Amino acid sequence: MKNLTIAQRILLMVLLAVFALLLVGGAGLYMGDQATKSIQRVNDDSLASIQILGDARQNFLNLRVSTYSHALSDNAERMQKLEAELQETAKNMAASLAAYRDLLNKSGNNEEQDGAMLKADVESTQAYWDFISKEVLAKSQRNEDLEVRNEL
Question: What is residue 148's predicted lDDT score, i.e. its pLDDT?
Answer: 77
Over the stretch 3-23, which tens digit does the pLDDT of each residue have? 888 899 999 999 999 999 999
Over the stretch 119-138, which tens digit does the pLDDT of each residue have? 999 999 999 999 988 888 88
Report residue 34's pLDDT band, with 50, 70 and 90 as the boundaries.
very high
Question: What is residue 110's predicted lDDT score, i.e. its pLDDT?
Answer: 58
What is the number of other CB atoms lying within 10 angstroms of the CB of residue 82?
22
Cβ neighbours of residue 139 under 8 Å, at least 6 residues apart? 147, 148, 151
What is the number of other CB atoms lying within 10 angstroms of the CB of residue 84?
11
Over the stretch 43-89, which tens digit does the pLDDT of each residue have? 877 888 889 999 999 999 999 999 888 888 888 888 889 889 999 99
HSE toward the beta carbon, residue 108, CA cutoff 13 A:
2
Q: List Cβ<8 Å contacts ≥24 apart for 25-32.
A: none
Question: What is residue 108's predicted lDDT score, i.e. its pLDDT?
Answer: 66
- Chain mean pLDDT for the chain: 88
Choose among 91, 93, 70: nearest CA to 82. 70
Look at phi and psi of residue 143 and say left if phi exceeds 0, alpha if psi is from -120 to 50, else beta.
left
CA 123 to chain centre: 18
Q: Which of 38-42, 83-87, 139-143 is predicted most confidently?
A: 83-87
Cα–Cα distance measured from residue 152 to residue 146, given in angstroms and rounded to the nearest whole number: 10
Cβ neighbours of residue 107 under 8 Å, at least 6 residues apart? 44, 45
**Is the pTM higher than 0.75?**
no
Question: What is residue 55's predicted lDDT score, i.e. its pLDDT?
Answer: 94
